[in-house]
Structure formats: structure tokens, C-alpha cells
Amino acid sequence: MKSLHMHHLNWQKIILQILLLMLFSSQVFAKERFFEFKSSHDPELQIKLENLLQEKGLWKHSQKEKLAMIIIDLSAPAAPRMAEINGAHMMYAASLPKLAILVGAFIQIQRDQLTLDDALWKDLNLMIRFSSNPAATRVLDLVGRDTLVSILQEPDYRFYDSSQGGGLWVGKAYAKTGAYNRDPLKNLSHAASPIQAARVYYLLVTGKLLNPELSKKMLQVLGNPGINHKLVKGIKKDYPDAKIYRKSGSWSNFHADSALLEVAGKYYIIVGLVENPKGGDWLAELAVPLLEIMLPDSN
């Protein structure tokens, strides 16, 4: 009887060890997926960013949390360089969170919960390239309003994380209806923080968000912007050959833009959120200087 009891205890220990290993593995996987840009903070790039805002007379706005920004040099994807001002600060972001609807749609496609047919493909392009509100509402309803909120908070993605200041949030259709689920931290209907918007582009371009086929399709939707303003207006003027993948947003005094830039085969990310009537002009004026402080010649 004693040997049987010991044998039973040994099996309990083995099962416990297996469960602990599975738990540890899942935690490591989640941590790997939730890339912490703080570990990639580059002091020299940070100084250049702060000096640029000082030169443009915008530093005072950042100190009042009316301007939030992040730039990431992905020219060496395994060793990104990041600088930010209020990078985790979540703000109302108008149409920029349509980026979150795009993410939700492609994740559901990858999970075989949605079919990428001609109608959905058309709406995805209208929603992102031309910021169509009716198309965004149709895609949101296909994904599912509660489903999207859930996806944004999943451990594998954490595009909205209350412990990290929030992030991407969609709690209202892009239609003349009230909000159905405002974010828990600031009661916002459409929100973003620079770091969480930047994470979408980082995970996408490094193949950590979707499979290779869907990654190409999502980049295709984000590419060739149909609205020439803000970051796109600034970059295209001096870098006409640059490839731009972006989503922007504007409403009242709120202006937001996010872009993955491909210049000479290298990737760079810029995200800016501004609460000021001149915010759109600021982003257009900052676009090239922000890019150039990341380029190799500036180091």
C-alpha cells in the first residue's frame, strides 16, 4: 500500500510540474508578443527628439500633455531604437483607431471567423485609405463590437492595457449613434496612445501579428494612402519614393497620425497625437525632421 501511495504522489508531482511548465511557457510567449519598447529607449535619439520639439516651439504643448509622440528606428529590426514624448499617454484619436478595427478583422480572418471576400476587402480599403465611416462601421459589426474590445485586451496582443496607460480602443461605431463601451480609464469612445499604435506596425512588419500571407494583405491595405495630409504630406514632399503605410484621424481640435515608413529598404515608425487646432499642420511640418533624426546619416 505504501508503494502505491508513493507512486500516486510521484504522478501528482509530475502532473504539477507539467502544469507549471505550461503556465511558464504561456507567460514567456505572452511577454515576447508584448514587445516592451521601453527596453529599446535610445538616449541620443531621445535628445534629438526633445531638441526638435524645442526648436519648433512645441515643447510646452508636450509638457501640458497636449502632444504625444513616439518614433522608432526599425532599420535593424532585432535592435529597435525608440524615443518618445508622452508615449503611453492615451488621447482621443478620432479615426486613427480604425487601425484597431483593421487589426481585429485580420485576426478574425486568421482564426477563420471571417472570410476575406471582395466586399470586405473593399470596405477595409475604404476604411483605412480614405477613412470611410460607413465602411468602418460595417467592418466593426462584422468583427463584433464586444469581440474587438476583447481582442484588443487579449494577453497575446494587449493593444489596450490598463496597466500601461490604456491604448487602442473602439467603443463607438463611426456613425451618428452613442458610445456603447467607453474605455475604463478615461471614458473615451475612440482612443489611442503612441506606443500602442506603434506596436501594431512593429508586430505586423516583424511577422508577429499575422501569418506571412495576411501580413502582406494588411500592409497592402495600409499602403498608398488616399488622403494627402499630415505625415503623408510632409514625407512625400521630400521623400517621394518612400513607401508609407498609415492611418490618421482628425476631429475638432484633435489630430492624430501613425505611419510605418519604408525608406531605402529600411523601416521607421512615427506616431503623433495632438490636441490643438494647428495639430495637422504640426504633424506635416515635423514629418521629415522626425524621419531624418532616425536615418543613418544623422547618427
**How far from 244 is each of 67, 224, 266, 269, CA to CA, in Å?**
22, 7, 12, 10
Cell of 226: 488616399
Instruction: Write down the pLDDT at residue 26.
Output: 33
The CATH number given to whatever domain includes residue 180 is: 3.40.710.10
Residue 12 has pLDDT above 70, yes or no: no
Q: Which residues contact 146 (CB under 8 A, 6 or more apart)?
A: 181
3-state secondary structure of 21: helix
179 is a domain residue: yes
Rounded distance between C-alpha atoms, residue 72 and residue 17, angstroms = 40
Q: Please count the structural domains in the chain.
A: 1
Q: How confident is the model over 140-177, as pLDDT tens digits?
A: 999 999 999 999 999 999 999 999 999 999 999 999 99
Q: How confident is the model over 182-229, as pLDDT tens digits?
A: 999 999 999 999 999 999 999 999 999 999 999 999 999 999 999 999
99: Cα separation from own chain's centroid: 7
Q: How confident is the model over 252-275, as pLDDT tens digits?
A: 999 999 999 999 999 999 999 999
7 is a domain residue: no
Instruction: Write down the pLDDT at residue 37.
Output: 66
pLDDT bucket at 38, cuts 50 / 70 / 90: low
Residue 121 has pLDDT above 80, yes or no: yes
DSSP code at position 87: T
DSSP code at position 213: H
CA dihedral sign, ordered 146, 152, 155, 160: negative
Residue 120 has pLDDT above 50, yes or no: yes
29 is a domain residue: no
Beta bridge partners of 247: 258
Instruction: Give helix 279-292 / helix 43-55 axis angle, nearest 10°.
Output: 140
Q: Tell me what the pLDDT averaged over the chain comes to.
A: 90
Rounded distance between C-alpha atoms, residue 278 and residue 254, angstroms = 9
Residue 243 has pLDDT above 90, yes or no: yes
Rounded distance between C-alpha atoms, residue 92 and residue 261, angstroms = 24
Which residue range is the domain that position 276 belongs to? 40-298
16 is a domain residue: no
DSSP code at position 297: G
120 is a domain residue: yes
234: Cα separation from own chain's centroid: 21
Work out the average pLDDT over 18-46. 56
